[in-house]
Amino acid sequence: MTLHEALAALQSEGDATRAADLSSRFGAGVYLGVAPARLDELARTWRQDIAFPERLDLARGLWAAEPHEARVMAAKLLTQARIKDDAAVWDQICAWISDARNWAEIDALGAAGGRRLVGDLSRMATVHALAASDRALDRRAAMILSTPLAKLAHPGKDELNAIDDVLFWLTHALQDTDKDVARTADTWVRALGKHDSKRAKMVRRVVEMRKSDS
């Protein structure tokens, strides 16, 4: 599939009403108005039909294109459980995070990057740096990237250490001045609480103690 064919396919799925709604939510930009469910369907098909490294090349072309949906699709093309020699994929996702313009792009990139993260926990250093960023979208990205850790039913020792490292700054994220970041932090803790109520409750207690001391 060429970049031109991919963009034409996305444009054919567009809806003007949905595009106008996206524009009102996210501000200036080009929006096609493709339904999220349809983006997911197309992404599944394209992932099956296009192998690496051609898929990464197509994703790069889509991200560089103007439409919002092209950027989301670029991330979805890289959302896969197992990718052999995924260093280039991880690096590209991280580069795009700094360029993302809204939470929808961040969430798509986080979903793709989270799968790369759980396979190589040395990449947590990038997550911690994002969590300390002055940009709210970066802080949200840190939580989306690390969400797979919160969902592990039976984490190993290294994974538990990684979870505890996240919890160290998550207590602050729950009180973030950006409401979207705070809500994402709350979602992270609730995901953790489904199978590790002890740690989840500990985080809540720390936040309540901090509030009472302020």
Instruction: Convert the pLDDT of each residue in 9-40 to its tens digit.
Output: 999 999 999 999 999 999 989 999 999 999 99
Question: What residues have CB less than 8 Å from 89, skipping those under 6 apart?
Answer: 52, 56, 78, 83, 112, 116
* Interval 95-146: pLDDT, tens: 999 999 999 999 999 999 999 999 999 999 999 999 999 999 999 999 999 9
CA distances from 197 to 14, 112, 194, 202, 204 (A): 43, 27, 7, 8, 10
Question: To the nearest whole number, what is the mean pLDDT of the chain?
Answer: 96
- Which residue, 116, 36, 155, is CA-closest to 44? 36
pLDDT of residue 114: 98
